[in-house]
Amino acid sequence: MKLASPAVPDVPLANFVSAAPLLQIRDLRISFRTDKKQSVDAVKGISFDIERNTTVALVGESGSGKSVSSLAVMGLLSRDSAIISSGSSILFEGRDLLTLSISERRRLCGKDISMIFQEPMTSLNPVFSVGFQIGEVLQQHMGMNANAARKRAIALLTEVGIPDPESRIDAFPNQLSGGQQQRVMIAMAIACEPKLLIADEPTTALDVTIQKQIIDLIETLRNRHKMSVLFITHDLALVGEIADRVVVMRNGEVREQGATRQIFEAPQDAYTKALLRCRPSLDSRPWRLPVISDYLDDDSDAARPEPSDRQRSRGLTGTKEILLDVRNLSKSFYSRDGLFGRKEFKAVDDVSFTLTRGKTLGVVGESGSGKTTVGLTLLRLHQATSGQALFQGKDILAMSNKDFMSYKRRIQIIFQNPYASLNPRFTVGQILLEPMRIHRIGHDDNERAAVALQLLKKVGMPAATFHRYPHEFSGGQRQRIAIARCLTLKPEILVCDESVSALDVSVQAQVLNLLQDLQEEFGMSYIFISHDLAVVKYIADQVMVMHQGSVVELANSDELYRNPTHAYTRSLLSAIPRGLQN
pLDDT at 306: 61
The pLDDT value recorded for residue 110 is: 87
| Spans of all domains in the chain | 323-410+491-574, 421-490
> pLDDT band at residue 208, thresholds of 50, 70 and 90?
confident
Give the number of other CB atoms < 10 A from CB of residue 101: 8
CA distance 410 to 524: 10
- Whether the CB-CB separation of 50 and 230 falls below 8 Å is answered with yes
Across 245-261, average pLDDT: 95
Task: Note the pLDDT tens digit of each residue in 303-336.
Answer: 666 666 788 889 887 778 999 999 999 999 887 7
Cα 213 from Cα 526, distance rounded (Å): 30
Task: Report how far residue 53's alpha carbon sits from residue 398's, in angstroms, rounded to the nearest whole number.
Answer: 61
Supply the pLDDT for residue 302. Answer: 61
Q: Is 368 left (phi over 0), alpha (psi -120 to 50) or beta?
A: left
Residue 78 CB-density burial (10 A; 0-12 exposed, 13-18 middle, 19+ buried): exposed
Domain spanning 323-410+491-574: CATH 3.40.50.300: yes
Q: What is the mean pLDDT of the chain?
A: 88
Whether residue 18 has pLDDT greater than 60: no
What are the beta bridge partners of residue 391? Answer: 324, 394
Answer whether residue 298 shows pLDDT above 60: no
What's the rounded mean pLDDT across residues 509-513? 88
What is the tens place of the pLDDT at every residue in 78-129? 888 899 999 999 999 999 999 999 999 988 998 999 999 877 777 899 999 9
pLDDT at 213: 86
Span 425-461, pLDDT tens digits:
999 999 999 999 999 999 999 999 999 999 998 888 8
Angle subtended at Cα 137 by Cα 132 and Cα 141, rounded to the nearest 5 degrees: 145
Q: Is pLDDT at 16 greater than 70 in this prediction?
A: no
Separation CA 358–CA 375 (nearest Å):
18
Rg (CA), the chain: 26
Number of other residues whose CB lies within 10 A of the CB of residue 175 = 12
pLDDT tens per residue, range 42-53? 999 999 999 999
Q: Helical H runs in 303-390?
A: 371-378
pTM for this prediction: 0.82
pLDDT band at 4 (very low <50, low <70, confident <90, very high): very low
HEC letters along 416-456:
CCHHHHCCCCCCHHHHHHHHHHHCCCCCCHHHHHHHHHHHH
